[in-house]
Structure 1
Amino acid sequence: MATLQEQLLKAGIVDEKKAKQLKKEKRKAAKQPKGQVQIDESKAAAARALAEKAERDRELNRKRQAEVEKKAIQAQITQLISTHKLDRRGGELSYQFVDGKKIKKLYVTNDLQTQLTRGQIAIVKQGETYELVPATVAEKIKQRDESRVLVLHDKSASQTVDEDDPYADYQIPDDLMW
Structure 2
Amino acid sequence: MKKPQTLSLQEQLLQSGLASDAKAKQVKTDKRKQSKLQRSQGIEIVDELKINLEQTRLQQAERDRELNLLRKQTEEKKALLAQIKQIVTLNRIEQDVNGVLYQFNHLNKVKTVYVSENVRLALISGRIGIICVDNQYEMVPAEIARKIVSRDAESVVLLNENSQEVHATEDPYAAYQIPDDLIW
User: TM-score when scaled to structure 2?
Assistant: 0.67
Could you tell me which residue of structure 2 aligns to residue 40 of structure 1? 47
Could you tell me which residue of structure 2 aligns to residue 114 of structure 1? 121
Could you tell me which residue of structure 2 aligns to residue 19 of structure 1? none
| Residues 41/75 of structure 1: CA separation in 2 closer, same or farther (3 Å cut) | same
| Residues 111/44 of structure 1: CA separation in 2 closer, same or farther (3 Å cut) | same
| Residues 121/71 of structure 1: CA separation in 2 closer, same or farther (3 Å cut) | same
Give the fraction of aligned pairs with identical amino acids, expressed as a percent: 38
Could you tell me which residue of structure 1 aligns to residue 145 of structure 2? 138
Of structures 1 and 2, the larger Rg is shown by: 1
In 2, Cα distance between equivalents of 1:85 and 1:48: 55
Q: Which amino acid aligns with 2:125?
A: R
Post-superposition offset of 1:33: 2.4
In 2, Cα distance between equivalents of 1:60 and 1:172: 51
Correspondence 1:177 to 2:163 = no
Given that 1:114 and 1:174 are in contact with CA atoms closer than 8 Å, whether structure 2 keeps it comes out as: no
The secondary structure found in structure 2 opposite 1:105 is strand
Q: Which amino acid aligns with 1:145?
A: D
Correspondence 1:62 to 2:74 = no
| Residues 164/124 of structure 1: CA separation in 2 closer, same or farther (3 Å cut) | closer
| Residues 132/39 of structure 1: CA separation in 2 closer, same or farther (3 Å cut) | same
The secondary structure found in structure 2 opposite 1:33 is helix
Q: 1:154 aligns with which of 153, 158, 161?
A: 161
| Residues 72/155 of structure 1: CA separation in 2 closer, same or farther (3 Å cut) | same
Unaligned 5+ segments in structure 2 are: 1-31, 39-43
Given that 2:132 and 2:138 are in contact with CA atoms closer than 8 Å, whether structure 1 keeps it comes out as: yes
The secondary structure found in structure 1 opposite 2:47 is helix
Post-superposition offset of 1:159: 5.0
Could you tell me which residue of structure 1 aligns to residue 101 of structure 2? 94
Unaligned 5+ segments in structure 1 are: 1-31
